[in-house]
Structure 1
Amino acid sequence: MPRRHKQRNCRRLEGKRNFKPSGIPSMKLEKTELHLDEFEAIRLCDYDGMSQIEASLSMGVSRATVQRLLLSGRKKIVDVLLHTKELIINEKLD
């Protein structure tokens, strides 16, 4: 039986956020979903300039979890930019 997810402290977004290339209808684009915890880890480390340890304390998770969230979130963002996809930021935590 898998363990339950630890409660993660993330800022809530108001409404759904999506970003897509201009000039291409959304229905023609493949979609990539960025989870709120991945977005929060990227925001804390890359935008706010926190270390992974500081971000882990802020989010209430281990440093290794923050590192994993950063890797998966950054990979999704680069994939969206390289392959002309739509990025959807999911406000629900899984």
Structure 2
Amino acid sequence: MSPRPRKKRCCEGVCPSSAFKPVGISLYSLRQIILFRDELEVLKLCDLEGLFQEQAGERMGVSRGTVQRLLASARRKTADALVSGAALVFAKEEPEASP
């Protein structure tokens, strides 16, 4: 039994750079935390623009539950990077799940 096909997520704009890291330290000497584009988008919609999760889900074309899961993951990764001094590396899409 294979998983349900992944729904297309609408993400506006582009990532400003390929990574966000502490100044003066080489990217390759830091622990890298990957933040996917849909996680960055939901973080922008909910925390920067102040939308409710339901509104963010409508804008992205996904359910509120998916927004809630993405938001929790994005906040956890961002907090980890800020507290531990790791680099946030922006990726376009999540890798396909392997069978």
Q: Answer yes or no: same fold by TM over 0.5.
A: yes
- For residues 87 and 45 of structure 1, do their structure 2 counterparts lie closer, same or farther at Cα, with a shift above 3 Å needed? same
TM-score norm. by structure 1 comes to: 0.91
Q: How does 1:25-64 map to 2 (within 5 A)?
A: 25-64=26-65
Question: Which portions of structure 1, spanning 4 or more consecutive aligned residues, are displaced by more than 4 angstroms?
Answer: none
Counterpart of 1:33 in 2: which secondary structure? strand
Partner of 1:69: 70
Partner of 1:91: 92
Q: Normalising by structure 2, what TM-score? A: 0.87
Residues 15, 91 of structure 1: 8 Å contact kept: no
Aligned residues, how many?
94
Task: Please give the per-residue CA displacement for 1:44-94, whole angstroms capped at 9, x wherever unaligned.
Answer: 011111100100000000000000000000000001011111111112355
Specify whether residues 91 and 12 from structure 1 end up closer, same or farther in structure 2 by C-alpha distance, changes over 3 A only: farther
In the alignment, structure 2 segments of 5+ residues that lack a partner are none
Is the 1:30–1:85 Cα contact (8 Å) retained in structure 2?
yes
Q: Is the 8 A contact 1:12 1:91 kept in 2?
A: no
CA distance in 1, matches of 2:66, 2:15: 25
Which amino acid counterpart does residue 84 of structure 2 have in structure 1? H
Unmatched 5+ stretches in structure 1: none
| Amino acid in structure 1 at the alignment position of 2:8 | Q
Supply the RMSD in Å over aligned alpha carbons.
1.5
